[in-house]
Amino acid sequence: MICVLAGGVGAAKFLRGLVAVVGDEKITAIVNTGDDLTLYGRRICPDIDTVTYTLAGVVNPETGWGVANESYTIRRTLIELGDTPWFLLGDRDIGLHMFRTQRLCAGKKLSEVTAEVCHCLGVPISVIPMSDSPVATKILTERQDGSLKEMDFQEYFVANHHEPVVRGVRYDGIEAASPPPQALSALGECDRIIIAPSNPLLSIGPLLAVDAIAEILRARRSACIAVSPLIGGKAVKGPAADILTSLHAQSTVTTVASLYREYCSSLAIDPQDSDESVQLQALGVAPLVTNLWMRTPQEEAKLAKRVLHG
Ligand code: FO1
């Protein structure tokens, strides 16, 4: 059994590659919930939904999130009513949020609803939220005049196009986070743990901040390999490079290794970053040099195979 700690788009593509190479072997994805939000009374779990839609084969291939061939009737109604919907939600996606919210209000756990959705959509792996209780990633940003403003994750990421300079990140609710027991048993019993190519501070950070998850990872460090989200020091998508620079001085695979060294014994890096292999070894993290681009299903599967088998 393989366990993957996952954020959104990069993790979903990696998981799709993994499914293509492992055949019947069981895969469990433990997914970040720090990006979750409530809008129009509906609970939205972007990273869980991105992984779910990707593995169900219905994801929008242009964005990497949301559903392919969506309609936007509800959004148009909101605009006609004078609302300014800053978070792009399609009709089918909203249907899922309605289902989830209804179930949560009826007393179901997020992990139960997620399993139900994955079963209905034919997702071939177990998708488990990192916590059944809400955790909210908060971003401390710097305004142009130098003053600081804390934003909700999606306010920073979507409404402000992840442009503000980030001065801090915290995970609200993390002390009370309740990782589903099946996530902890999967982590404890699996043969391999993989940290997906996701943002180390915004996507993987919340997972590692859950005490029970961090504790198992530390104990199972030798079974864990991480995949760098950086290629040539740059993020494939999103603000990882900017945030690593503002919070940790530089956006390099050495910085990624220093953030993960407690939890994993090796790090997959791209040939463009292989000149940092010596620094990784000095940190006690073995470099696995391999092409990290996932532009096609073939590249996704090739990366997954390399990460699994070295
Ligand atoms: N990302 C955007 O850049 N703009 C959006 O309007 C947006 C809407 C959205 C709706 C549902 C969903 O599941 C994801 C959505 N995302 C959107 C992606 C999401 O904000 C981020 O990719 C993740 O939270 C970061 O992993």
Nearest CA to ligand 1 atom 25: 8
What pLDDT does 76 receive? Answer: 98
* Most ligand 1 atoms within 8 A of CB, residue of 54, 72, 157 to mutate: 157
**What would the mean pLDDT of 186-192 be, rounded to a whole number?**
98
For 193-204, how does the pLDDT look when each residue is reduced to its tens digit (9 = 90+)? 999 999 999 999
Evaluate if residue 249 carries a pLDDT over 90: no
Nearest atom within ligand 1 for CA of residue 154: 20
**Distance of CA 188 from the midpoint of ligand 1 (Å):** 31
What pLDDT does 103 receive? Answer: 98
Evaluate if residue 23 carries a pLDDT over 80: no
Ligand 1 lining (C-beta closer than 6 Å): 7-9, 35, 44, 46-47, 49-50, 65-66, 87-89, 93, 154, 157-158, 203
**What would the mean pLDDT of 13-17 be, rounded to a whole number?**
98
What pLDDT does 109 receive? Answer: 98
Dist. CA 96–CA 9, nearest whole Å: 18
**Distance of CA 83 from the midpoint of ligand 1 (Å):** 19
In the predicted model, what is the mean pLDDT of the chain? Answer: 97
Nearest CA to ligand 1 atom 13: 46
Evaluate if residue 226 carries a pLDDT over 90: yes
**Distance of CA 70 from the midpoint of ligand 1 (Å):** 14
Cβ neighbours, 10 Å, residue 136: 18
The backbone region for 135, taken as left when phi is positive above 0, alpha when psi lies in -120 to 50, beta otherwise, is: beta
Evaluate if residue 5 carries a pLDDT over 90: yes
What pLDDT does 24 receive? Answer: 72
For 119-156, how does the pLDDT look when each residue is reduced to its tens digit (9 = 90+)? 999 999 999 999 999 999 999 999 989 999 999 999 99
Between strands 148-152 and 266-269, the pairing is unpaired
**Distance of CA 9 from the midpoint of ligand 1 (Å):** 10
- Taking Cα atoms as reference points, which of 251, 259, 239 lies closest to residue 195? 259
Evaluate if residue 25 carries a pLDDT over 80: no
- Distance (Å) of CA 294 to CA 84, 94, 130, 279: 34, 28, 25, 25
- pLDDT above 70 coverage of the chain, percent: 100
What pLDDT does 71 receive? Answer: 98
Please name every residue paired with 28 in a beta bridge, in sequence order, or none if there are none. Answer: 3, 126
- The verdict on pTM exceeding 0.95 is yes
Evaluate if residue 41 carries a pLDDT over 80: yes
**What would the mean pLDDT of 285-290 be, rounded to a whole number?**
98
Q: Cα angle vertex 108, ends 107, 111, to 5°?
A: 150
For 264-283, how does the pLDDT look when each residue is reduced to its tens digit (9 = 90+)? 999 999 999 999 999 999 99
Nearest CA to ligand 1 atom 19: 46
- Distance (Å) of CA 121 to CA 56, 286, 297: 6, 38, 20
